[in-house]
Structure 1
Amino acid sequence: MSDATTTAATAAPTTGTCLCGAITLTIPAAAVPLKSMSCYCTHCAKNAGGPYQTNAMFATTDISVSDPQGQLRTYSILDTFSGKPKEKAFCGTCGCTFYTRPGHHEGKMTVVKTGILDAGAIASFQPKVELYARDRPQFCQALEGTKQFDTMPMTH
């Protein structure tokens, strides 16, 4: 077994919790995000309570959620770029958003809101792409080394 395989097999998973601790999201150590991004779209800005939100997209099968108190709620966002609804999943007690599932991916992809990740894990998911850069406020600078898109690229 190679060192990389050994490390992946023994590395701890990444977890994320909401403010009240009712829900835990787990990403296995071997899971690699398909994309990591910052998004300045209206949905992400409102959801984050700030000018943008950082996200990482995973295969839905790579994500697990523990919700022993039954607090996970969903809300369908209908006015999307693709025209297909996206499902937002959040804690019904404290309101923290865990992820969205864009309808155009038919449930196969989950976009994790990296701000919910525990113990500094957000640093492992540095954005490689900035979406809706046209909506970036002037006081926010483009992230060095990221691809910039004015809207949502059609391949997203």
Structure 2
Amino acid sequence: MTTTTSISGSCLCGTIKYSLKGTDKGPVLCHCDNCQKTTGSSFANNHRFTRAEITLTEGKDAIKSYKDTNTISGNPLIRWFCSNCGSPIYLENGKFKGLVIVYSGGIDGDLRHKTPAGELFGHNKRNWFSGVEGAAKL
């Protein structure tokens, strides 16, 4: 289910701020090792937008990227993060041009409370986590 939204988000230290204006393609969890390491958690909870729907409103000079080429899918990912506090902001997948994957932890407001509609790389999820009931296993 898609939701048209106009919300904001930021990194932990507040140096980087952004706005999202557009259609959320729905939240998904990613259980790959790289997302676990990026977030420092058992999975990444993400929302999908187009590149044109995210605008950096503060901290453009503080955002840095890391080209992650050692991915389980084989697709290189560009991971954008705050160079001050290290918070992940969003990522771009070279296979899906124009799509931006925004980490839900930085999003302000109700959008971050939506139940994920799908789970990626479920074969790699932690054995104590049964998954999200009703979520598509992608």
TM-score with structure 1 setting the length = 0.79
- Answer whether contact 1:82 1:104 (CA < 8 A) is retained: no
- Cα 1:68–1:137 change in 2 (3 A) is closer
Deviation at 1:121, TM superposition (A): 3.4
**When you count strand as a share of all residues, which structure comes out higher?**
2
Deviation at 1:67, TM superposition (A): 3.0
Task: State the secondary structure of the residue aligned to 2:52.
Answer: helix
Q: Which amino acid aligns with 2:45?
A: T
- Answer whether contact 1:25 1:98 (CA < 8 A) is retained: no
**When you count helix as a share of all residues, which structure comes out higher?**
1
- Cα 1:134–1:22 change in 2 (3 A) is same
Q: Which contiguous aligned blocks of 4+ residues in structure 1 show a shift greater than 3 angstroms?
A: 81-84
Q: Which residue does 2:81 correspond to in 1? A: 90
Q: Which amino acid aligns with 2:99?
A: M
Task: State the secondary structure of the residue aligned to 1:61.
Answer: helix
What is the Cα-based RMSD across aligned positions, in Å? 1.8
Measure the CA separation in 2 of the matches of 1:79 and 1:135. Answer: 15
Deviation at 1:16, TM superposition (A): 0.8
Deviation at 1:69, TM superposition (A): 6.2
Q: Which sections of structure 2, spanning at least 5 residues, go unmatched?
A: none
Q: Select 1:14's aligned residue among 3, 7, 12.
A: 7
Q: Relative contact order, CA 8 A, sep 6+: which one is greater? A: 2
Measure the CA separation in 1 of the matches of 2:57 and 2:112. Answer: 20
Q: Which residue does 1:137 correspond to in 2? A: 126
- Cα 1:69–1:136 change in 2 (3 A) is closer
- Cα 1:120–1:33 change in 2 (3 A) is closer
State the identity %.
Answer: 24
Measure the CA separation in 1 of the matches of 2:14 and 2:109. Answer: 14
Q: Which residue does 1:41 correspond to in 2? A: 32
Report 1:1-156 matches (<5 A): 13-28=6-21, 31-68=22-59, 70-106=61-97, 108-123=98-113, 125-149=114-138
TM-score with structure 2 setting the length = 0.88
Q: Which sections of structure 1, spanning at least 5 residues, go unmatched?
A: 1-7, 150-156
